[in-house]
Amino acid sequence: MTDTTDPRLTPLAATLPASVPFVGPEAQERIRGVAFDARLGANELGFGPSPKAIAAMQAETAEIWKYADPESHDLRQALATHHGISPDNIMIGEGIDGLLGYLVRLFINAGDAVVTSEGAYPTFNYHVAGFGGVLHKVPYKGDNEDPLALIEKAREVGAKLIYIANPDNPMGTWHSAATIQQMIGNVPEGALLVLDEAYVEFAPEGTAPAIDTTDARVIRFRTFSKAYGMAGARVGYGISTPEVISAFNKIRNHFGMNRAAQAGALAALNDQPHLAQTLKQVAEARTRIGEIAAENGLTALPSATNFVAIDCGRDGAFAARIVSELGKAGIFIRMPFSDPQNRCIRVSAGPETELDLFAKALPAALKAARV
């Protein structure tokens, strides 16, 4: 195969694969030549955002000729009020993914150690590789990330960043606030705990520790992509000390935020009754996914997210065949990347009509996968 690498690239960039952490459903649809009937694989909110958020974004289209407020002032003020903290403790960015990229750029030089879990959210790894960091991974403990092992590994390698998601993606499991707070308390000197709370709105009370904006050992990330149903708008935010937060201003894309998305996120935040309705819909959908799994002899893992990991009882190759067969039937789902989590398939909570299609297609997919 001919090497098409541009010789003008930096040595680091030349070594990186030209790939993205996830293959989107759109790319798969182009290959299939037809759209999926059920989009249940990307942990999007198929129930949609608040109608007030949609109206706010529509109203902003006539003003789209203007750049967005580079300070995201109104949204930061509203989030500060919502969380009972100062706006100086909040940074708005282009989804958690964008903020993770900025964070790694701020803290990681080539060769610096970073700790995460084997099989955890791969976009974080993508950013670490992109800035030359060295990833050190620890295994899950059962189906949960292992806070103690992460801290021990960080001490061992002198890590500058330690990543954990609570609740977890891809397994949907979670730790108590007390466990995470203990983890924060044990962060080694010179390290920063990256606490990804993208799914925290779906989690039981007592999952998230109280926000302490004086603790420089941790930065927390939250998003409007999941519970607020605005994945395509790309609005996330970080919470930490003013010193950590202000550092983002040194390197971020100050005009990276979408003006309509800012307005939509503000309206969504102010529509907490719609959020409550969404959480109810997701809980009901998780129950339905569990019932579908049981009807087919499979086991749904407990979930504190808007998706359910289903243990298929065999290995990753078997689960991959199920994913493929469901794709042929027009059902888009995904599965974890790493063993032993890859014994599971992962199904997003979605509208009843789409779960009906999943329920109808699963028996045949299982039968074909077992051949």
The answer as to whether 133 is a domain residue is yes
Instruction: Give the whole-angstrom CA distance, residue 24 versus residue 1.
Output: 26
Q: Please tell me whether residue 28 adopts helix, strand or coil conformation.
A: helix
The range of the structural domain enclosing residue 330 comes to 21-48+273-370
Which of 270, 301, 324 terminates a domain? The answer is 270
The answer as to whether 296 is a domain residue is yes
Domain match, 200 and 70 both: yes
Q: Residue 87 is part of a domain; what is its CATH number? A: 3.40.640.10
Domain match, 102 and 208 both: yes
Instruction: Give the whole-angstrom CA distance, residue 294 versus residue 330.
Output: 22
The answer as to whether 8 is a domain residue is no
Q: What is the pLDDT along the chain (371 residues), one digit of tens a residue?
A: 445 789 999 999 999 998 888 889 999 999 999 999 999 999 999 999 999 999 999 999 999 999 999 999 999 999 999 999 999 999 999 999 999 999 999 999 999 999 999 999 999 999 999 999 999 999 999 999 999 999 999 999 999 999 999 999 999 999 999 999 999 999 999 999 999 999 999 999 999 999 999 999 999 999 999 999 999 999 999 999 999 999 999 999 999 999 999 999 999 999 999 999 999 999 999 999 999 999 999 999 999 999 999 999 999 999 999 999 999 999 999 999 999 999 999 999 999 999 999 999 999 999 999 98
Which of 254, 270, 286 terminates a domain? The answer is 270
* 323-121-79 Cα angle (round to 5): 120
What is the dihedral sign for C-alpha 76, 78, 83, 84?
positive
CB 43 within 8 A of CB 22: no
Domain match, 186 and 94 both: yes
The answer as to whether 309 is a domain residue is yes
Domain match, 313 and 182 both: no
Sole residue written with tokens 């007030």: 52
Q: Residue 356 is part of a domain; what is its CATH number? A: 3.90.1150.10
Total domain count for the chain? 2
Instruction: Give the whole-angstrom CA distance, residue 273 versus residue 267.
Output: 12
Domain match, 119 and 38 both: no
Domain match, 86 and 25 both: no
Domain match, 308 and 265 both: no
CB 307 within 8 A of CB 43: yes
